[in-house]
């Protein structure tokens, strides 16, 4: 992975910084309250597919799509490229 950071811009709110996690092979962000978010990427085209929030279901982690709930508008990568979510 060439890029180690990206920023998710949110409608009317501060943007979040995501950092590359080698274990998950994905960009990850953990809020101050401990909620973990992950950007699921299409690695062939190097573009975000969706943003997930991690929940615990018994003894396993599950990811639910969350980009609309958090108001994601775009993701900006270190190299200046951007991906805009449909509004």
Residue 79 CB neighbours (<10 A) = 9
Distance CA 9, CA 15 (A): 4
36 belongs to a structural domain? yes
86 belongs to a structural domain? no
Q: Which domain holds residue 17?
A: 5-79
52 belongs to a structural domain? yes
pLDDT at 1: 55
Q: Is the pTM of this model over 0.85?
A: yes
Q: For residues 41 and 33, is the Cβ–Cβ distance under 8 A?
A: no
Tell me if residue 77 falls in helix, strand or coil: strand
pLDDT at 42: 85
Structure tokens, 36: 């973990």
Q: For residues 19 and 27, is the Cβ–Cβ distance under 8 A?
A: yes
State pLDDT tens for residues 22-81: 998 899 999 999 999 999 988 787 788 899 999 989 999 999 999 889 999 999 999 999
Look at the chain and report how many structural domains it folds into: 1
């Amino acid at each position: 992975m060439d890029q180690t950071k990206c920023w998710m811009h949110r409608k009317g709110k501060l943007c979040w910084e995501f950092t590359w996690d080698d274990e998950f092979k994905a960009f990850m962000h953990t809020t101050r309250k401990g909620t973990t978010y992950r950007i699921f990427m299409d690695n062939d085209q190097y573009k975000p597919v969706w943003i997930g929030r991690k929940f615990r279901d018994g003894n396993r982690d599950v990811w639910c799509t969350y980009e609309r709930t958090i108001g994601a508008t775009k993701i900006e990568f270190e190299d200046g490229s951007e991906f805009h979510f449909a509004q």
